[in-house]
Amino acid sequence: MKNVQWEQLKRTEFEQYIAADAVVIIPVGATEQHGRHLPVNTDTSCCYAIARAAAERIEDVKVLVLPPIWTGYSPHHMQMAEAAGTISLGFHTFADLLTDVAACVYAHGFRRIMFLNGHGGNTALVQAVRFKLGEEKQISSVHCFTYWTLPDVPELMQSISETDKGHIGHAGEFETSLQLLLQPDLVDMSVARWAGTLGDPTTATAEKGGKVFEAVVTSLMNVIRRYHAGEYEDSRVCRKVI
């Protein structure tokens, strides 16, 4: 398996990736309560695994994946009773963190930088950071995608959904399915309830998680190719590609 992890390269090894106009993915997760049955690293785990799988499988474009941003924007989960574990940054801290990380990647010569978001509460902020990077750093080529809205993924989720009507929700059918695939030892289905979550985790299966994972990774690989080919250039408009 080729190594796609940014943090494992030596300083002399980046040059080949810069010369190849590599796509650099910054996974953006969260540490946030996910009901009684899922670990608080659920969002980070999902987007990081997806980014790494796409980077490892794609042959025609060089891709590097940064260590995931594990602190997201989750103020709505800090006040919940009997729901410890959330670590949320403030609004401006989170925006500045993403700005600084992307600006460092850019400073080394990378021009194709992509945030891959895995937490609903981050979505608007991550998209807005694109404008912030343009305004403050004159960096206009960064793109952002949220994994469950990548092309073809909503349709796949809709087609296999039994209870959540295809929505990602929160600790519901699909996040639980993905965690049964990715971190089964950290999932406790005996306490999975349709309460304190957004969606119904009881219909989750690892098989369903596998279908979603494959659809997301395939779609992300296509997006990486399109981004590398210049398809999104001069697009300063934040948009969901669906």
Question: How many residues at the interface with Zn ion, by CB under 5 A?
Answer: 2
Which window, 15-23, 35-43, 124-132, 218-226, contacts Zn ion (CB under 5 A)? 35-43
Q: Which two tokens stand for residue 103?
A: 């600006």
Which window, 17-25, 36-44, 95-103, 232-240, contacts Zn ion (CB under 5 A)? 36-44
For the bound state, the minimum distance from the C-beta of residue 75 to Zn ion, rounded and expressed in Å, comes to 15
In terms of CB distance, is 43 or 164 closer to Zn ion?
Answer: 43
Which window, 2-10, 12-20, 39-47, 53-61, contacts Zn ion (CB under 5 A)? 39-47
Helices 153-160 & 206-228 angle (0-180, nearest 10): 170
Which window, 41-49, 52-60, 64-72, 73-81, contacts Zn ion (CB under 5 A)? 41-49
For the bound state, the minimum distance from the C-beta of residue 200 to Zn ion, rounded and expressed in Å, comes to 15
3-state secondary structure the chain: CCCCEHHHCCHHHHHHHHHCCCEEEEEECCECCECCCECCCHHHHHHHHHHHHHHHHCCCCCEEECCCECCECCHHHCCCCCCCCCEECCHHHHHHHHHHHHHHHHHCCCCEEEEEECCHHHHHHHHHHHHHHHHHHCCCCCEEEEHHHCCCHHHHHHHHCCCCCCCCCECCHHHHHHHHHHCHHHCCHHHCCCCCCECCHHHCCHHHHHHHHHHHHHHHHHHHHHHHCCCCCCCCCCCCCC
Which window, 40-48, 70-78, 85-93, 197-205, contacts Zn ion (CB under 5 A)? 40-48
**Does position 43 bind Zn ion by CB under 5 A?**
yes
Query: In terms of Cα–Cα distance, which of 238, 220, 211, 234 is closest to 111?
Result: 234
For the bound state, the minimum distance from the C-beta of residue 213 to Zn ion, rounded and expressed in Å, comes to 15
For the bound state, the minimum distance from the C-beta of residue 197 to Zn ion, rounded and expressed in Å, comes to 9
For the bound state, the minimum distance from the C-beta of residue 142 to Zn ion, rounded and expressed in Å, comes to 23
In terms of CB distance, is 26 or 133 closer to Zn ion?
Answer: 26
Which residue, judged by CB position, is nearest to Zn ion in the bound state? Answer: 43
In terms of CB distance, is 127 or 176 closer to Zn ion?
Answer: 176
**Does position 173 bind Zn ion by CB under 5 A?**
no
For the chain, give the longest Cα–Cα distance. Answer: 51
In terms of CB distance, is 123 or 141 closer to Zn ion?
Answer: 123
For the bound state, the minimum distance from the C-beta of residue 198 to Zn ion, rounded and expressed in Å, comes to 9
Interface positions with Zn ion (CB under 5 A): 42-43
